[in-house]
Amino acid sequence: MSFPKDFLWGAAAAAYQIEGGAMEDGRGPSIWDVYSHDKRIDPKTGRMNIDNGDTGDVACDHYHRYKEDVALMKKIGLKAYRLSISWSRVLPEGKGEVNEKGLDFYSDLVDELLKAGIEPYITLFHWDLPQALMNLGGWSNPDSPDWFAEYVKVVTDRLSDRVTHWITFNEPQCHVIIGHLLGECAPKLKLPCQEVFQVMHRVFLAHGKAVQTIRKYSKVPCKVGYAPCATEVYPVTDREEDVKAARKAAFDTSAENLWNTSWWIDPIILGKYPEDGVKAFAEYFPESLLKEEDLKLISQPLDFLGINLYRGAGIKHAEGGYVQAENKTGFDRTAFKWPVTPRILHYMPKFLSERYQLPILITENGLSMADWVSLDGKVHDPQRIDFMHRYLLELSKAIEEGIDVIGYFAWSIMDNYEWSQGYGERFGLIHVDFETQKRTLKDSAYWYQEVITTNGKSLQGL
């Protein structure tokens, strides 16, 4: 077992989940500020938008404590850190006047990372659309791709003399489906399916324009990628018939299922919508989205494909194709009740690499646990260590089979604001006391430190 000598060992976070400083230094509100501050009880569910009425107003106070946080990243030994930028901190109205103090924060953060020997990987959109743009229709507005390109140019102009790795969108399917179709997160819309396809298409156009903008204005050579999640599946056995069945399931759009990988990556990389999917949604899918000039813009050449992988479904061969295997009684699961399925880190990079012919970057992987500071002052999280160990062993199998996997980002660098779950889930390598903002490296952080120092060789010592 071995990892490439230049393998990228990192961790990730997102702006709204850690920064805080929500109303400081000229930052404008985002849709998540508005959503989290809506404390009304839904009469149907009996719940507020966010568990416990939590907001990201302070979160991990990273806006003020970034130097401390980068020092902890350095102590762990991270080679890279994946951060996102708050669009409304840079452009409070989403377009127009630039907030220089907001840009200064990200410039200073990049400098601090580079000083610590940590490569910044910048994600340009991680769900927090400026509310000012939402007031203009958000992604339903035909001008939204141009708004995004304007924002990307501002960031590129300021940071691209030092930042060389960019990611356009994080998990757009979550933002679009959960936020615009199901209405279960910001911006809490329940749009007709036909309009949801329009929103999806504009996000794709925004991606294409962003790639063009970065390549045109970057001051140094750079690499650009994209980070959706995927239809997370794995074969229940290594038999060829099960592997073939899982591969089919990973990209199958023959049913009305907007979550499937093909919907969210085929247009971006292959320059076309999945034909079976278009047929399945024929009643709702607008033919205008198939314009050749749009698809050409959307499918700008990329340097890598990021993918967020957490939990998956076991697939086995069946007559006529495949079936999903049932979870065993009392199956292993995380605090978030997600099943523990390490094999996805072997097979999903393999399936994605075969189909899209790009280097694969694991942009998120991790789990939530019931972590707390023990009487000895430490945070013992053996299940996180075991989880990461199992998943990384599976990832090493993909690499040994020749799959070009360039790096792994643990989610998350620290406990943070877990969207609609508020502060109720802890995904971090670093424990955060949200009352005092005290940081404590968990046992998993020290374990990951050894993995990084040995470039994965320590994983062999079971």
Please enumerate, by residue number, every residue annotated as part of a binding site: 17, 126, 170, 310, 411, 418-419
Residue pair 255/245 in contact by the 8 Å Cβ criterion: no
Task: Report residue 381: phi and psi, to 5°.
Answer: -130, 65
Separation of alpha carbons 71 and 160, rounded Å: 23
The burial of 298, by beta-carbon neighbours within 10 Å (0-12 exposed, 13-18 middle, 19 or more buried), is given as: buried
Separation of alpha carbons 169 and 225, rounded Å: 9
Separation of alpha carbons 399 and 377, rounded Å: 38
What is the β-pairing status of strands 119-125 and 439-441?
Answer: unpaired
**3-state DSSP assignment of residue 414:** strand
Q: Give the active site residue among 171, 232, 394, 425.
A: 171
Task: Report residue 453: phi and psi, to 5°.
Answer: -60, -35
Separation of alpha carbons 93 and 95, rounded Å: 5
Instruction: Look up 364 and say whether it is catalytic.
Output: yes
Q: Give the active site residue among 19, 112, 232, 364.
A: 364
The burial of 402, by beta-carbon neighbours within 10 Å (0-12 exposed, 13-18 middle, 19 or more buried), is given as: exposed
Name which of 425, 422, 336 is nearest 35 in CA terms. 422
Helices (H) and strands (E) in the chain, counts: 16, 13
Instruction: Identify the residue whose tokens are 């990273």.
Output: 62
The burial of 266, by beta-carbon neighbours within 10 Å (0-12 exposed, 13-18 middle, 19 or more buried), is given as: buried
Residue pair 222/211 in contact by the 8 Å Cβ criterion: no
Find residue 333's DSSP bridge partners.
339
Residue pair 307/359 in contact by the 8 Å Cβ criterion: no
User: Could you give the dihedral angle defined by the CA atoms of residues 336, 339, 344 and 348, in that order, rounded to the nearest 10 degrees?
Assistant: -60
Name which of 352, 115, 107, 72 is nearest 232 in CA terms. 352
Task: Report residue 289: phi and psi, to 5°.
Answer: -75, -5
Instruction: Look up 150 and say whether it is catalytic.
Output: no
Task: Report residue 439: phi and psi, to 5°.
Answer: -100, 140
Separation of alpha carbons 369 and 87, rounded Å: 30
Please give the annotated binding residues for substrate, written as ranges: 17, 126, 170, 310, 411, 418-419
> Catalytic residues, which ones?
171, 364
